[in-house]
Chain A
Amino acid sequence: MNEFAKHMIKTGRITKIVEEAPNIKTFELSIAMHAEPGQFVMAFLPQVGERPFALTQAGKKIAITVKKRGPFTEKLFSLKEGSFLGIRGPYGKGFSLQNVGKACLVAAGIGIAALIRLAEELAKEGASVTLIFACKSANEIIFKERLEKVASLHIATEDGSAGFKGDCIELLEKVLKKQSYDKLYCCGPEAMMVSVLKLCEKYAIDAEFAVERYMKCAVGLCGHCCLDEWLVCTDGPVFSKEQLLASKEFGRIYYSKSGKRMRFGGD
């Protein structure tokens, strides 16, 4: 019966809280878990809710890095060290790291949470890692020290308060013109990922993307997180360039809490 027990909530306590940026905190937990970069967990706050998050640390103690957005993350932000937090997972399919000599990672905003362990893992495997990290402004750049250890870091800010002034697409195209890569990995807002996908097509680079959809069960039952016929929770959250190029819904359609079909950016 292990197949059901593995989905039971693992009990943890918050062992450390790091304020990464005004609206971003990392919560380290007394839970041991192995997970591939790109996989995610469901975090559980009793009688508050359960939400999906990437792991920014795995092994003896896991960590999640969270941007404050709504009711669940607000409650999470009010917690202190020693507070209870439950976890189930890991879930989903992670990034594939095989045969990558030169990797280009592209993150925007909190999307870095899905890519930080990938950058470290790739470096450990001996790959050379270039990371393009785009934020609204300098105070949103997180994990700078960790990233500089494993990657050549290119920062873009919308307001120009650090690095390149502008969006990551412009910066990415500059980088791609100069240098070729075996593989590109990307996580960020969907509109940005759509643009990156187009560049990957233009420059013929193999690529993988971590996609976000409204998620409830995380085990492939409820169907809320569908992307075309795929389920983000079990077939994703990592999708290949080919899959997303074939997708009718990527960048266009998602499903609301009721399951209603919605358009990105309204009708």
Chain B
Amino acid sequence: MLAIELCGIKLKNPLILASGVLGLNKNNLLRAQKGGAGALTIKSISLEERFGHETPNVAFFEAGMLNAFGYCNPGLEEALREFADLSCFSVPVIASCTASNASDFVKLVSALDKLDFAAIELPLSCPHTPGHGLLAGQGTVEATKEIVKACRKKTKKPLWVKINASLPNAVDIALAAEQAGADAITCSNTLGPGMVINIASAKPVLAFKVGGVSGPAIRPIIVRTIYDLYKRLKIPIIALGGVLRGEHAIEMLMAGASAVGIATGIAIRGPDIFKKCCDEMSEWLKKHDYKSVTELIGVAHE
């Protein structure tokens, strides 16, 4: 009932562990696999080891959170060792990598292509790390085309491009990625950046002052962006943003997503959020006489 196929990859359910949470190493991923995720995305890897921003890396508000980790990760060399053997996973594992320019992206994709990842995701959309994503000017039609074209030549694996729904021309950027050879669009990275000020000390909470906004607060913006993307794109869309419950995932599918990612929800419902959401989805589908989740994709457009 929940099984889907995405870019030729079979998933037992449409819920994907989003990049950046529980994805530093195989230990983390195994935990999310136990929690019931249909696929697992690793934390975005850079060429060199990065220590990221000072803590606080997270700041909460009533309707979600901000994060600014600054792409801390052990770097490509360590990642190649860590993920060389993926045989402990029964669900597909997706690579994610980040760089400042097309030539570094090419180096990363070429290296990750040799491992058993089911797909490679390019986040061109992080709003809070200098030299990466939006702060490296990757959130434009031109940059997206250049990077995706260059990476496309280096891998036959499905290439997913992660965009940012904060940008007014998000649809144009997704179309540019599609034209350049992307196999799916992941939407969205965290929005903003935003800021939370601790009023008692009159200082921003995050050490980096600004951070990407995620959680329930951003969900309506993501739903609308998915709806807009679905009208124009031929390739599938993976929706990300504020999904805490099975019903939220159903909303994303109805808007036009083929699969749904979860990050922030793990802080609220634990790594078992995937199982919990699957149960909620199955129950809803049964109650409303659907035989498969795939019947829901884009129904809001009918």
Binding site for B on A (CB under 8 A): 1, 3-5, 7-9, 11, 42, 44, 46-51, 84, 86, 88, 216-217, 219-224, 226, 228-231, 234, 249, 255-261
Contact = CB atoms under 8 A, between A and B. Distances in A.
Nearest to B202: A46
B50 interface: yes
A3 B266 CA distance: 12
Interface residues of B, number: 52
A3 B204 CA distance: 21
A258 B49 contact: yes
A88 B61 CA distance: 12
Contact of A50 (B55, B63, B264): B55
A88 B216 CA distance: 21
Given A231-B31, A258-B49, A260-B78, A216 B60 contact: no
B56 A257 contact: no
Given A86-B200, A257-B52, A226 B61 contact: no
Instruction: Say whether chain A's binding surface is mostly helix, strand, loop, or mixed.
Output: loop
Nearest to A227: B27
B271 A222 contact: no
B51 interface: yes
Contacts of B61: 4-5, 8
Nearest to B82: A261
B285 to A, nearest CB: 26
A255 B50 CA distance: 13
A260 B207 contact: no
Contact of A220 (B50, B82, B267): B267
Given A86-B198, A229-B31, A258-B72, A221 B51 contact: no
B140 interface: no
A258 B52 contact: yes
Contacts of A88: 60
User: Which residue, of B34, B51, B56, B204, has the highest number of chain A Cβ atoms within 10 A?
Assistant: B56
